[in-house]
Amino acid sequence: MKKMQRDCYSCSTRLFTSRLILLIFVLFGAYRHGSILADELPAETVGEDTGTVVGTVVFVPSPEHPWRLGRYYIKNAKSGELAEAVVALTSRGLKASDTDRQPVTVVVDQKNFQFTPETTAIRAGDRVRFLNSDDQSHNVKTAHSKFSFNVTMPVGGEHVTTFESAGGINQPYKIDCVFHSAMHAWIYVFDHPWYQVTSADGRFELQGVPPGEYRLDVAHPAGGWRYRETIEVVAGKTHEVQVRIKADQDKR
């Protein structure tokens, strides 16, 4: 009788252990593949000391104020998600704490007589590698109060430059080609990590934001559109924003 009890207990223990191991593997796999959302995780996993700001930038058209360039930045005219909008937080004394961060290099190509990408956002100290993939000579030029350059780009040529000074949301580096006046690009340089350029879905997500009050700034350089609102970031919480840029609003 005692032997049977021991055997049953041993079987139950093995069964429980097997199920526990299986559950751990399932949860780990779900987490790696993104099927567990952040708000389903324990609070300490999400981050208790900082908050997150997420949202979508949407363009609202107006028959009285048509935007002829809109077709290049708005994939779905009905829903209006706006690509290549720069979203950034602004606050007095806002600085990054990662002082040991290594600079990165991003690529801006000149292809089919346009800059690709047209809008770029980087940190102060990062580098931009300009390329010329066209079969004609190009040029990269900016006349910025903090840093200027004017470089001819032969076929297959490249030019790497470091942007040491941040201009923030208000002072982007406007890049032109002196040979082709229709070619433009904008490089936004920040001294903190809380910025993003929206993709085709108009979405943005700023993570690891210290709690406090901020001004959320949005700029779309090709359209000249600006937007701003004050938000409050709470530790351990996600603040969601719906940015609506209207065609008939004043450009600031």
Contact assessment for residue 195 and residue 86, using Cβ atoms and an 8 Å cutoff: yes
- Interval 175-215: pLDDT, tens: 999 999 999 999 999 999 999 999 999 999 999 999 999 99
Q: Cα–Cα distance between 54 and 202 in angstroms, integer?
A: 11
pLDDT at 21 over 50: no
- Local confidence band at 12 (pLDDT 50, 70, 90 cut-offs): very low
Sign of dihedral through CA atoms 161, 120, 186, 193?
negative
Give me the residue label for tokens 């909008």.
85
pLDDT at 11 over 90: no
Give me the residue label for tokens 């900082």.
50
Q: Quick check: helix, strand or coil at residue 250? A: coil
pLDDT of residue 183: 97
Q: What are the b/e assignments for 178-188, b being 16+ CB within 10 Å?
A: eebeebbbbbb
pLDDT at 57 over 90: yes
Taking residues 92-111, what's their average pLDDT? 89
CB-based burial of residue 115 (10 Å sphere; 0-12 exposed, 13-18 middle, 19+ buried)? Answer: buried
- Interval 109-139: pLDDT, tens: 999 999 999 999 999 999 999 999 999 999 9
Rg (CA), the chain: 25
Sequence-distant (≥ 6) Cβ neighbours of residue 235 within 8 angstroms: 47, 48, 49, 50, 51, 211
- Interval 129-175: pLDDT, tens: 999 999 999 999 999 999 999 999 999 999 999 999 999 999 999 99
pLDDT of residue 252: 62
Q: What are phi and psi of 46, to 5 degrees?
A: -70, -40
- Local confidence band at 47 (pLDDT 50, 70, 90 cut-offs): low
Q: Cα–Cα distance between 199 and 114 in angstroms, integer?
A: 18
